Amino acid sequence: MSNNDNDIILASATSLSTLTINDISKDGFGYNPSVGPQSNNITQETSNYLLSKRTTSITSPNSIYDKSIINKKTNEISLSSLSFLFCEIVNWCHKSSKGIQDLETRLNGLGYTVGQKYIELIKLREGFKTNKREIKIIEMLQFIHGIFWKSIFGKTANELEQSQDVSNEYMIIDNSPLMSKFISIPKEYGELNCSAFIAGIIEGALDSSGFFANVTAHSMAIPGFPLRTVFLIKFDESLSIRESLRR
Amino acid sequence: MTIYSFHIFDRHCNCIYNREYSHSSSDNNNNSTTVGIVNKNNDSNGSKLLFGILYSLKSMSSKLIDEETSPIPNALKSFTLGKFRIHYFESLTNLKFILITDINIDNLQHILWELYSNYYIKNCIQNSLSPIEFKISDDLKENELTGKINNHNFIHQTDQFLQSLSVFN
Amino acid sequence: MSKSSNNRYNGDDIWKNNTEKINSELFTLTYGSIVSQLCRDFNHNYHEVNNQLDKMGYNIGLRLIEEFLAKTGVGRCSTFKETVEVISKLGFKIFLNITPQIENWSSDNKSCSLILPDPNPLTEFVELPNLKDAEILKELWYSQILCGVLRGALQMVQLDVDVNFVKDTLRGDDKTEIRLKLNKFLKDEVPAGED
């Protein structure tokens, strides 16, 4: 797809305001705003142009783009497979990191790309059902906490809270986050919380939806839930301005 | 009936876990804190002898039958020594689980299987940051110390499990 | 291991009743994120990436086999043919919910191929960025981690086996094929200082 750069039909003038009635596109093809709808009339010249264009097919019979990702029944695999893989990912990141902080940053970065992709997928699937696009912080957080969480981790998160002290800060709380289930942290790893990966997923999903945020994971065990983790979501300042406009 | 001790040997013939329970009559109170010692005698002569005798018995048992044709391997399960019975289970991956009890306890195969398939798997295998290879280096010299299972959850849970058995005391 | 003979080939039952499951897409995307991270870490030297994926797989295999044995209770297989059956019908089934086909046995019954269904849980959504980087199609084995897993797991049950990809639909091949070759049976280790 990236090799059709030179096939793009260019406007004949660099700026619309400089167009005059006499400016027609070099190929005699394309909409000319100074002419109006007439410029799109099909003429011998424009038909010839289209017919003579050489094209390459960008879809093949086996292309992944031809498969529906909306109606597909999602497959399941063993949780163990994911945890084995995740363990190795943690080990790899640990080897190449300078410390616990750095390790968490790396895990966060890996999660980020997962979140970016997953939000797109889930929005295609669930967006059709809910027939809605979230434009406010609260709505978006409810979507992440509910539908998004349920779809990716198989259950909704436990709590959704707003910070009383700091504006723009929210918390999603999961009593037993999926990724930490099998991992007990040895002493030498200190305060490491592997849910940094999940924090990355949330951050990627929020950023891709235009809710720019920083997400960090913090262990906050309570009796009965030793793995309870708080995902602290701090939205960018600019969002509060937007929120006030959308009120 | 009493369980005296619990050992695990890895495939490199090292004792990676050694738990000895003390049953002194002085602690008759219901204090459930564990008594005995953990991972103190892994490299002792006692545990080497234990491994040696198991190794020999295992070799012998496989020589008694023709392994090529027999559908069921002639597996060593337990043997007795005077007042003691030694219960043995080996996984296909050559992990050896051993319980030493008094002679009155007949069969602990299901307990050994449980220690492997539940407690070892859950706490050591599925825990990514817990090592599963305990050999520190390939050219380990004799008498050099090797790694051990120091996983707190494993120690705690297997203690609880074994102590909850009716045959424990 | 008394139960071994009864449920030896009952991967479906274990999958249905005794496996905690998750959405495979999370797995797919997580795997994708680490492969692309490795490509960056190794500066697009895809041989290095293959090696690293293989190593990671090997480490997984060492652990995975224990869980596999504990869950299935299978006893020792008497032939390599039986082993490969178990890998496909039990191993792949329980962990990835797929059952690769076994094909192409050599006459000495020491090597064969596993044909993975397409797409599989590792490669769903995946297309190699061949337009930007032509090398990737020739060099990267995207699912190499599976070879490492098989190699590690089999080594733990005393089988020295070479495992490698020979075909991958991601590279435009007609199927995704892993080749297994049994080298030898490994002997039990003996204590230091003994024969």
Q: What pLDDT, in 10s, does the model give residues A16-52?
A: 555 555 555 555 556 666 667 776 677 776 677 667 7
DSSP B32: -
In a domain, A1, yes or no: no
Q: Kindly state whether residues A27 and A96 are assigned to the same domain.
A: no
Strands across the sheet containing C101-103: C101-103, C111-116, C176-185, C159-167
Q: Where are the domains of chain C?
A: 22-185
Q: What's the domain range around B119? A: 3-164
Give burial (CB, 10 Å; 0-12/13-18/19+) of C186.
middle
What is the CATH number for B89? 3.30.450.70
In a domain, B15, yes or no: yes
The label of the residue with tokens 């048992």 reads: B61
What is the Cβ-side half-sphere exposure of residue A9, based on CA atoms within 13 angstroms?
A: 13
Assess C6–B contact: CB distance below 8 Å, yes or no: no
pLDDT (mean) for B51-80: 80
CB spacing of C22 vs A154 below 8 angstroms: yes
B92 sits in the region (left: phi over 0; alpha: psi -120 to 50; else beta) called: alpha
Tell me how far apart the alpha carbons of residues C143 and C130 are, in angstroms, rounded to a whole number. Answer: 16
pLDDT tens digits, B10-41 = 888 888 898 888 876 544 444 444 577 888 77
Query: Is the Cβ–Cβ distance between C24 and C124 less than 8 Å?
Result: yes
Residues whose CB is less than 8 angstroms from the CB of residue A181 and which lie 6 or more positions away in sequence, other chains included: A79, A83, A227
Which CATH code for domain C22-185? Answer: 3.30.1380.20
Predicted local distance difference test score (pLDDT) of residue A191: 72
CA angle C142, A180, A158 (to 5 degrees): 115
Of the candidates A192, A201, A200, A202, the one whose C-alpha atom is nearest the C-alpha of residue A227 is A192
Sign, CA dihedral B80-B81-B85-B88, equals negative
In a domain, A59, yes or no: no
pLDDT tens digits, A106-138 = 999 999 999 999 999 988 888 777 777 888 899
Tell me how far apart the alpha carbons of residues A113 and C29 are, in angstroms, rounded to a whole number. Answer: 8
Residues 76-115 of C with CB under 8 A from B: 76, 78
In a domain, A239, yes or no: yes
Residues whose CB is less than 8 angstroms from the CB of residue A128 and which lie 6 or more positions away in sequence, other chains included: A70
In a domain, A66, yes or no: no
Assess A56–C contact: CB distance below 8 Å, yes or no: no
Query: Is the Cβ–Cβ distance between C60 and C145 less than 8 Å?
Result: yes
Could you tell me what percent of chain A has a pLDDT over 90?
A: 30
pLDDT tens digits, B97-107 = 999 999 888 88
- Is it the case that residue A62 has pLDDT exceeding 70? no
Tell me how far apart the alpha carbons of residues C84 and C87 are, in angstroms, rounded to a whole number. Answer: 5
Chain C: touching chains (3 or more CB pairs < 8 Å): A, B
A216 sits in the region (left: phi over 0; alpha: psi -120 to 50; else beta) called: beta
Q: How many domains does chain B have?
A: 1
Q: Kindly state whether residues A92 and A186 are assigned to the same domain.
A: yes
Q: What's the domain range around A17? A: 8-52
pTM (predicted TM-score): 0.82
Assess C4–B contact: CB distance below 8 Å, yes or no: no
List the single residue in C34, C95, C126 with the smallest CB-CB distance to A81. Answer: C95
In a domain, A57, yes or no: no
Could you tell me what percent of chain A has a pLDDT over 70?
A: 71
Q: Kindly state whether residues A44 and A90 are assigned to the same domain.
A: no
What is the CATH number for A137? 3.30.1380.20
Q: Which of A88-92, A242-246, B2-6 has the lowest mean pLDDT?
A: A242-246
Tell me how far apart the alpha carbons of residues A15 and B152 are, in angstroms, rounded to a whole number. Answer: 71
Cβ contacts of B130 on chain A, cutoff 8 Å: 184, 186
Q: How many domains does chain A have?
A: 2
Looking at the DSSP bridge assignments, the partners of residue A216 are A232
In a domain, A65, yes or no: no
Q: Which of A179-188, B73-82, C55-64, C68-77 has the lowest mean pLDDT?
A: A179-188
Predicted local distance difference test score (pLDDT) of residue C138: 87
Residues 72-111 of A with CB under 8 A from C: 74-82, 84-89, 91-92, 96, 109-111
In a domain, B169, yes or no: no
Report the range out of B21-30, B34-43, B157-166, C87-96 with the highest average pLDDT: C87-96
Interface of A with B (CB under 8 A): 80, 83-84, 86-88, 90-91, 182-186, 189
- Determine the 3-state secondary structure of C115 from DSSP: strand
Of the candidates B134, B166, B99, the one whose C-alpha atom is nearest the C-alpha of residue B14 is B134
What is the Cβ-side half-sphere exposure of residue B162, based on CA atoms within 13 angstroms?
A: 29
pLDDT (mean) for C73-91: 91
CB spacing of A83 vs B130 below 8 angstroms: no
In a domain, A186, yes or no: yes
pLDDT tens digits, A9-22 = 444 455 555 555 55
- Determine the 3-state secondary structure of B126 from DSSP: coil
Predicted local distance difference test score (pLDDT) of residue C6: 41
In a domain, A151, yes or no: yes
Looking at the DSSP bridge assignments, the partners of residue A232 are A171, A216
Query: How many other CB atoms sit within 10 Å of the CB of residue A160?
Result: 19
Predicted local distance difference test score (pLDDT) of residue C195: 45
H helices then E strands: how many in chain C?
7, 5
Tell me how far apart the alpha carbons of residues C61 and C66 are, in angstroms, rounded to a whole number. Answer: 9
DSSP B20: E
